[in-house]
Amino acid sequence: MSQKSRIILGIVIVIVILGIVLGVDQIQRRRLAAQIPELVPGSIPIYVDGILTAGFIPADLDELPDASFVDQEEGKTQEGWLLRDVLLLYLDSRNLEDSQITVSSSSREKSITLTWAQIENEANRVMFDLSGRGTLKLVSDGVEGLAVRDEWVQEVDKIEISQ
């Protein structure tokens, strides 16, 4: 086989792998859409006192201001959107006062419960950072229980609010 053919074959392999990844992702999205018709596939459901109230959808990100901070552990910039702004898109702040907000990831089996006061305080930088594979990770700049990498909640798939 000539060098040119080998290089073309290499490029084809890269394209095929990309195609497989995106194809499987689309199948997953369709399957999820069939299971939960109320939610846009990939959206994050927001439950208030156990009742599905809204689904945080990607298009909402365009409306939100960006937020960032440099994490002290690795010096990386965490960039995304404040959880406060996400919640205020759907809920009135008066309804959130004195409430407990639990953000969880079923795949990572992790969750964190925070008060609205902690989330509302902009200095805490309780925010979602977009991971490399397009999922959301809840991070913060020093909030107790969410201060270091091990405590961050990766692959968030549910937000629950109890009042």
Q: How far is the CB of 10 from another protein (least distance, A)?
A: 4
Residue 148 engages another protein in binding (rule: CB under 8 A): no
Nearer to another protein, 79 or 88 (CB): 79
Main-chain phi, psi angles of 59, to 5 degrees? -60, -25
Helices (H) and strands (E) counted in the chain, each on its own, are 4, 9
Q: CB atoms < 10 A from the CB of 133, how many? A: 8
The runs of H, that is alpha helices, within 64-103 are 83-90, 93-96
Instruction: Give dist(CA 84, CA 46) in Å, integer.
Output: 13
Residue 38 engages another protein in binding (rule: CB under 8 A): no
Nearer to another protein, 24 or 117 (CB): 24
Residues of the shown chain interacting with another protein in the complex, contacts defined by CB under 8 A: 3, 6-7, 9-11, 13-14, 17-18, 21-22, 24-25, 28-29, 32, 41-44, 58, 61, 75-77, 79, 105-108, 130-137, 149, 152, 154-157
